[in-house]
């Protein structure tokens, strides 16, 4: 460690830079995880030369077809896309609304008893670890492989994230308003309605739109456990008709862009 | 009319807008249930399903989980969980490294408004492009396995990391750089002593936050063939083999909650 003696006799010691500890840990973890990945990588071969070929197959018409066929196929996909959006919308709205009471019960400043909010938080954390594919398997078991199953899976997933984001938000609100209302004789429910709700509501809408975006983007995964979404097109045509896959990819991307633009607009208005 | 009442009557009448808002949301919700159907036989079997789900947790396959008996360690679920963790870790590392230059290009106070617009646009495109589709394209294009998973997560995280990094750079305190200028520091010294100490804690905290998200999405991406636990989750979900799914979920719960705890502990220490 660098020591420096000043002319007045005082000794200045350069403090130890913690960045070296961080770098050390990152490098150590890299070796550990690198070893883990390398353990199984023998059978895997990379063929990056395939990438341009696949991309060309995806984003150009099939042999013997024209661009008109290609784009008319995208239009044919609208039914599946509407189904996917139905699932995402219904699931997001239901999930977000059902998260509200649980979020209130899990926030430290609303429920002041530790043995109420503690268990709720623990269960929420546990629930959030269940991957969305497993949630989908459960909902397929409940209602079959239709739109409803996707909706239930997405609502369960949304519930998990929203409850967590919302209780963290509720904990940051200004509690003086609640106190002021209670001092004028408002009960707990009134205090929540007039002091907590107005502070939380705009952000809640913002979160809901954000989760809706995420859900639309990740809905394709549901088709890998059997629910019919736009991802089914990708899964079913993966060996034969890459042009159809490409059409589905373009459609998803366009829809995602539209939703992003819309949500940016709404969020800017809310601010 | 006394003063209180007159003020109250001047309160803006927002109920029409609110009513329209609620009506629009509910109308879309009703629409999203279009073409859904419920099989009453399925409804009756829901209790059995929930029972099976929880029963799975009483029949955890310890030999498959820990890799003894007829399973080699490389085939065990613990190994795959470690691989998933590795994908999340390297993905975040790759994403952070790639995000640094991009975020400087998207920060207004570094490159000016015009270039920042281009950088921001680039980041939005990456963010909007669905991770699952990126995984699909890369798995088909260059081959499956954990390395592809790392690439997918790394590329996709650049979108969010770059945006948050750019915000961190934009909110940087410039006076310390001015002070360094005044004592005659060169560019490298300005970066080293003026910029890095300000940005490192913020950036590491953002990266740790993203690590949490990435480990969760790494558990799903396996369904498409990008390495990790996800492949098993989809293989054993049709028909659902609850004991295996429960075993995988135990591994995921331990892994995700551990990452969550470590990440939030370190983030609290950083900020």
B237 inside domain = yes
Under CATH, to which class is A67-270 assigned?
Answer: mainly alpha
Chain centroid offset of residue A170 CA: 20
Cβ-defined contact of B36 to A151 (cutoff 8 Å): yes
> Could you state, in order of their start, the residue ranges of all structural domains in chain A?
3-43, 67-270
Give A 209-228 residues with CB within 8 A of chain B.
217-218, 220-221, 224-226
φ, ψ dihedrals at B14, nearest 5° = -95, -5
Distance between CA atoms of residues B164 and B20, nearest Å: 35
Give B 194-223 residues with CB within 8 A of chain A.
200, 204, 216, 219-220, 223
Give pLDDT tens digits along chain A (271 positions). 577 888 888 888 887 777 788 889 999 999 999 988 888 766 677 888 888 888 988 888 887 888 888 888 989 899 999 999 999 999 999 999 999 999 999 998 888 888 999 999 999 999 999 999 999 998 988 888 888 999 999 999 999 999 999 999 999 988 888 889 889 988 888 888 888 888 899 899 999 999 999 999 989 999 988 898 988 888 888 777 888 899 999 999 999 999 989 888 888 887 7
B204 inside domain = yes
What is the structure's pLDDT at B1? 63
B11 inside domain = no
Where residue A121 falls (left for φ over 0; alpha for ψ -120 to 50; beta otherwise) is: alpha
- DSSP H or E segment with residue A3: strand A3-5
B100 inside domain = yes
- Residues in CB range of B92: below 8 A, 6 or more apart: B153, B154, B157, B207, B210, B211, B214
Strands A3-5 vs A11-13: parallel, antiparallel or unpaired = antiparallel
Does any CB of chain B come closer than 8 Å to the CB of residue A27?
no
Three-class secondary structure assignment of A162-226: HHHHHHHHHCCCCHHHHHHHHHCCCCHHHHHHHHHHHHHHHHHHHHHHHHHHHHHHHHHHHHHHC
Tally A–B CB contacts below 8 A. 193
Q: How far is B66 from chain A (nearest CA, A)?
A: 15
Distance between CA atoms of residues A231 and A245, nearest Å: 9
Where residue B181 falls (left for φ over 0; alpha for ψ -120 to 50; beta otherwise) is: alpha
What is the structure's pLDDT at A1? 57
Chain A residues with CB inside 8 Å of B85's CB? Answer: 33, 36
Q: How confident is the model over B2-15, as pLDDT tens digits?
A: 788 888 777 777 78
Query: Residue A234 in contact with residue A221, Cβ under 8 Å?
Result: no
- Rounded to a whole number of angstroms, the CA Rg of chain B reads 26
* CA-based nearest residue to A259, from A202, A224, A211, A190: A211
- Residues in CB range of B167: below 8 A, 6 or more apart: none
B37 inside domain = no
Q: How far is A15 from chain B (nearest CA, A)?
A: 13
What is the structure's pLDDT at B84? 94
Q: Which domain holds residue B163?
A: 62-270
Residue A62 CB burial class (10 angstroms; 0-12, 13-18, ≥19): middle
Chain A residues with CB inside 8 Å of B29's CB? Answer: 89-90, 93-94
Distance between CA atoms of residues B141 and A57, nearest Å: 11
Query: Residue B204 in contact with residue B119, Cβ under 8 Å?
Result: no
Distance between CA atoms of residues B65 and B71, nearest Å: 9
Q: Smallest Cβ distance to A37: which of B29, B130, B146?
A: B146
CATH classification of the domain holding B150: 1.10.3720.10
Q: How far is B108 from chain A (nearest CA, A)?
A: 19
Chain B residues with CB inside 8 Å of A138's CB? Answer: 49, 53
The residues of chain B scoring below 70 in pLDDT are 1
Cross-strand partners of B269: none
Cβ-defined contact of A89 to B29 (cutoff 8 Å): yes
What is the structure's pLDDT at A46? 80
Distance between CA atoms of residues B195 and A226, nearest Å: 50
What is the structure's pLDDT at B256? 93
What is the structure's pLDDT at B196? 84
Cβ-defined contact of A129 to B257 (cutoff 8 Å): yes
Does any CB of chain B come closer than 8 Å to the CB of residue A116?
no
Does any CB of chain B come closer than 8 Å to the CB of residue A142?
yes
Distance between CA atoms of residues A83 and A166, nearest Å: 28
Collapse the DSSP code of B174 into the 3-class scheme (helix H, G, I; strand E, B; otherwise coil) and give the result.
coil
B76 inside domain = yes
φ, ψ dihedrals at A13, nearest 5° = -110, 130
What is the structure's pLDDT at B191? 80
Q: How far is A221 from chain B (nearest CA, A)?
A: 7
B123 inside domain = yes
Chain B residues with CB inside 8 Å of A145's CB? Answer: none
Count: domains in chain B:
1
Distance between CA atoms of residues B18 and B160, nearest Å: 33
Query: Residue A57 in contact with residue A114, Cβ under 8 Å?
Result: no
B159 inside domain = yes
pTM: 0.88
């Amino acid at each position: 460690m660098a020591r420096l003696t000043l002319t007045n006799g005082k000794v200045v010691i350069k403090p130890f830079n913690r960045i070296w500890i961080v770098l050390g840990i990152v490098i150590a973890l890299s070796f550990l995880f690198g070893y883990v990945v390398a353990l199984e990588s023998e059978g895997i071969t990379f063929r990056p030369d395939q990438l341009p070929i696949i991309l060309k197959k995806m984003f150009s018409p099939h042999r013997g077809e024209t661009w008109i066929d290609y784009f008319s196929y995208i239009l044919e996909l609208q039914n599946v896309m509407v189904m996917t959006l139905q699932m995402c919308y219904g699931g997001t709205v239901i999930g977000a609304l059902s998260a509200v009471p649980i979020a209130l019960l899990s926030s430290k400043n609303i429920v002041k008893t530790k043995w109420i909010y503690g268990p709720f938080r623990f269960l929420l954390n546990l629930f959030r670890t269940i991957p969305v594919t497993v949630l989908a398997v459960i909902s397929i078991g409940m209602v079959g492989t239709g739109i409803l199953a996707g909706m239930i899976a997405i609502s369960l997933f949304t519930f998990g994230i929203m409850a967590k984001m919302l209780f963290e938000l509720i904990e940051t609100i200004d509690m003086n308003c609640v106190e002021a209302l209670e001092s004028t004789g408002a009960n707990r429910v009134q205090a929540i309605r007039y002091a907590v709700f107005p502070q939380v509501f705009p952000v809640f809408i913002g979160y809901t739109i954000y989760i809706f975006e995420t859900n639309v983007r990740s809905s394709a995964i549901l088709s890998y456990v059997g629910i019919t979404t736009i991802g089914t097109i990708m899964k079913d045509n993966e060996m034969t008709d890459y042009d159809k896959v490409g059409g589905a990819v373009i459609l998803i991307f366009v829809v995602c862009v539209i939703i992003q633009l819309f949500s940016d607009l709404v969020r800017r208005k809310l601010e | 009319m006394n003063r209180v009442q007159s003020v109250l009557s001047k309160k803006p009448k927002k109920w029409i807008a609110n009513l329209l808002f609620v009506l629009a949301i509910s109308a879309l919700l009703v629409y999203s249930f279009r073409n859904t159907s419920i099989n009453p036989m399925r409804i009756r079997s829901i209790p059995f399903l929930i029972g099976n789900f929880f029963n799975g947790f009483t029949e955890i396959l310890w030999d498959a989980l820990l890799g003894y008996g007829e399973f080699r360690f490389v085939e065990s679920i613990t190994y795959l969980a470690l691989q998933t963790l590795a994908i999340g870790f390297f993905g975040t590392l790759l994403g952070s490294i790639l995000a640094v230059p991009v975020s400087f290009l998207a920060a207004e106070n570094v490159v000016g408004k015009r270039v920042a617009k281009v950088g921001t646009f680039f980041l939005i495109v990456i963010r909007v492009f669905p991770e699952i589709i990126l995984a699909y394209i890369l798995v088909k294009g260059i081959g499956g396995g954990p390395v592809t998973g790392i690439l997918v997560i790394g590329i996709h995280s650049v979108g969010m990391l770059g945006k948050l990094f750019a915000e961190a750079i934009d909110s940087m305190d410039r006076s310390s750089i001015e002070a360094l200028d005044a004592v005659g520091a060169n560019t490298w010294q300005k970066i080293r002593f003026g910029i890095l100490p300000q940005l490192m804690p913020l950036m590491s905290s953002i990266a740790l936050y993203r690590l949490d998200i990435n480990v969760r999405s790494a558990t799903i991406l396996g369904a498409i063939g990008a390495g990790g636990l996800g492949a098993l989750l989809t293989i054993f979900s049709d028909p659902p083999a609850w004991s295996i799914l429960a075993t995988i979920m135990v591994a995921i719960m331990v892994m995700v909650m551990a990452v969550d705890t470590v990440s939030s502990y370190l983030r609290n220490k950083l900020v």
